[in-house]
Chain A
Amino acid sequence: MKDMTTGGPAPSAEDMKLIKKFLEDTTLFLGPDPEIMQNHDLMPRSADEEHAIANVPDTHTIAKIRDRLQAGCDEGYEMVEQMGAAPGAKWGDVITGIYSASGDLAIASAGGVLLFSSVVHHPIKFIVKNWMNEPTVGVRDGDGFIHNDSRYGNVHNTDQSMILPIFHEGRLVCWVASTVHEGENGAIEPGGMPSMAESPSDEGLKMSPFKVVENYQIKRDLLTFLQNSVREPKLQLEDMKVKLFACLRIKQRIEETLKTDGADALISTLRLTMEDVRAEVKRRVSEWPDMSVRTYIIQDSTLRENCVVKVNCTLTKKGDQLTFDFRGSSPEFTNRATNTILGGLKGMLSQLFLCYIWPDLPRGQAAMAPIEVITDPHSILNCSYDAPNSQSLMSIFTGFTAGQHAVAKFLYSCPEKFTKVHAPAFNMINTFIWGGVSQHGETLGNLCADLNGMGAGATSNRDGEHALAPIFATMADIGEQEVNEEDVPFLQLVSKKMTRDAIAPGKYRGGQGYTMMVATKDSEQWGFMTTAQGAKIPPIQGLFGGYACGTYPLSKVQGVDVYDVMLNEPEKFRHSIEEIMNEQPFEGARYTTHHMGMGFDISKRGELYMISQGAGAGYGDLLERDPVGVVKDIEEGLMSAEVAARLYKVVFDPATLAIDFEATEKARADERKARIARSVPYAEFVKGWNQPKPPAHLPYFGCWGDDVETLYMGSPDKTRRGDEPKPNYMVHPKDVRIAELEARLAAAGVPGDEKQ
């Protein structure tokens, strides 16, 4: 926008006051507030906090109260996990917490989705700023506010929060909130995370923070509106109640503290907990070497089409300042859902520190508070208000991995570590999202908890664990599939079986992913979708000479009813993707493979959908791997003997797997020599390898090489400057396909005599 120049004198202070009042009185729409949304640091100390800290500075009292409040938050978390109706709630995709009166998250539940710790404070700050003194709304004892629109906070619109103010003797002393990955939210596809969304209007419920509870009662008219807006009205009611009662339990624990220790002790505890954590983070960072570490992670699709989408990261540490610079990452997609708001990215970086680097720190907003994050405006990591972001997980997870990969290179030399140095975990939600009408006649839309079964990265002293945990939560579970199957009309015919040869090799190998095969059984109105990247390019990097994982496609078998096969010819069924796809045991069936961005697909009884969870990255040179570990991997079905022998250069008897250690040592020495022989010096290599622009055959998005200011937008000739946003539309994949087929028809000489 051009500067407005009047040519006259600057307005006086009195005029400015009048202009400000005029603008405030005539605001047409209270959209997301950049002042709130771009800031993840702590609010300044309030007068109340200054007063409280002066009255109650004693660290022992504060530690005692903090533990008590922490127990209260954990109790609330347990309640949501035990009573919540959403699969996400049952399996730990939850957080509960206590927020300062200004809205900062001071103490959060120890388990669950810690990334929420950096994003749930935004809606509270919106309420404080806009509703507190708004006569038509107000904030009173007994009120409760609901929220889900990620542009006002949170990660994506499938997460819903219940937020309660806590008053003591008429004064607002803090807030409590409970947030759950609810799943269904009335979007264009079931399950709450539509990959088909081309604008925010396709993303279902968009609740800016509003009051839905008065006198501790959920308002029935608003509840009915919300139920009427989603596919699972029962879920909407149940979980609003569960979140409300979890908040009330935490409120009860706070009131007990207020009774025994007083308001100043509570306020002082909340504030000093955050300030102490913030100061401790600065101290820990100062122990790292001063350095810049560069890495990049590639997203290989928008979930609609394959393309090369760069997440570019330079992590710089100087003194006690740590800065993530993500400039140079892909521009936002105007009509694709894989963009994220900046808060979501910061949340995942917070998760990195709270789960993987400093798991001993009290959970809350403060751990991320002093860490700086820089991005380009309207980029895939800091998208605009008008860009869809329902699949923001794709960008926040790859952003997380860039951070995890970079941090490891700082930690190695640091004498003071709080976890082992480790390679990146797998980072994609390789699971089935499902929806339709169940065998009980209920309309459902949600997902399998297998997204929580990501393989762990290897560490400096051991292999990664298989299917360990999601990168976005601690103490989350992959659930009991059999229990789930009581409610849904499909079976996981193969579940939790490791996918052989889908490996991440290294001195210590990554934890492996498992196979999932599903088929609908008892409904004619049921379908699946998958929302993950990484079918063409691995979404992680290896560490210190270790390798990343491979890639993971979706396989389908159509034109078969496997339930009939299992009943009549059970010997034909196979229990691995490898066997089913290679042997094609069902005559007449159609066997196909796809990338992992399958839009909602109505399934027929007995047709197979097959995917695999992914492996975490390997660590170190694979020739240093203990040969015994290699053979154990063969015995456990993680790797075929042929692949093991070829990659790890272990010599063993194929029949008995007995290792010939001497021959192995020689084979490995030979391989090191062979490496030297086939490799070329760096200077010579880059002469032949380096290109000035992205290759023409790749739809490439993001910066190239050191020039982070020029962002490519799908071809070597189409660019924007990092700081100058431009629309970035993608063509509908079906239109692309139609154009390809029309071109083939034209090339084959079919006359194009259609009227135009």
Chain B
Amino acid sequence: MTMKVPMTEYLRIDLETEKWECRVCDHVIAPAAGNYKEGLLVHNRDPREIHPPVIDPAKYRYTFCPDPEWVRILEFCCPKCGTQIETEYATPGHPPLWDMQVDVPALKAQWASRGPAMLPDAGPAVVPGRGHAH
């Protein structure tokens, strides 16, 4: 059986195909050795839309809103199901980060010695009746 390791709330790595996949819709996103963001869609969000002004922007310089000239929110979503997989509060023009650079051979070796029974119970695909212990 192919082992798929959940790496984040919405991403997993298929150890056999060595691909990043969406955990919500199973979409194959990108090679696991690369940057998963390259297989996603991006939206440059004005931060004022997410963090609304608490006090009147017509009257005041600081309003509880991030300054859109100083910071933007990069929203990364799955091209198939639209799940928002990652956000990045970015300085305007700053290249998006390759945030998870995985050593895939090491990951495969680690999980070969663990086996699928050790896969973590976290995120949307929790298997009922299999608790975790610590």
Contacts and interface: CB of A to CB of B under 8 A. Distances in A.
Interface of A: 289-296, 298, 300, 308, 310, 318, 409, 412-418, 421, 460, 499-503, 505, 507, 535-538, 541-542, 544-555, 577-578, 581-582, 591-595, 612, 619-624, 643, 647, 671-673, 675-676, 678-683, 685-686, 689-691, 694-695, 697-698, 700, 704-706
A681 B62 CA distance: 34
A675 B134 contact: no
A418 B133 CA distance: 9
A352 B106 CA distance: 26
A505 B103 CA distance: 32
A694 B91 contact: yes
Contacts of B69: 697-698
B50 A409 contact: no
Given A296-B97, A679-B42, A308 B87 contact: no
Interface string B44-86: 1001001110111001111111110111010111010111111
A689 B44 contact: yes
Contacts of A547: 50-51, 73, 87
Contacts of A643: 52
Contact of A545 (B84, B97, B100): B84
Contact of A548 (B10, B62, B89, B100): B89
Contacts, number: 250
A401 to B, nearest CB: 11
A691 B95 CA distance: 7
Interface of B is mostly: loop
A553 B64 contact: yes
A591 to B, nearest CB: 7
A290 B101 CA distance: 9
Given A294-B98, A544-B8, A705-B95, 19 more contacts: A289-B107, A293-B99, A293-B101, A294-B101, A412-B7, A505-B50, A507-B9, A536-B66, A541-B89, A547-B51, A552-B64, A577-B54, A582-B56, A621-B10, A621-B84, A679-B43, A680-B42, A681-B42, A689-B93
Given A289-B102, A289-B106, A705-B95, A300 B70 contact: yes
A698 B60 CA distance: 20
Contact of A291 (B42, B55, B81, B102): B102
29 contacts: A289-B107, A290-B102, A290-B107, A291-B102, A296-B97, A413-B7, A417-B134, A418-B134, A460-B9, A501-B54, A502-B64, A536-B62, A537-B66, A537-B67, A541-B89, A544-B10, A545-B76, A546-B87, A553-B64, A581-B56, A612-B64, A621-B9, A621-B85, A675-B75, A675-B77, A680-B41, A682-B76, A689-B93, A694-B91
Given A415-B114, A503-B51, A675-B75, A695 B93 contact: yes
A624 B106 CA distance: 33
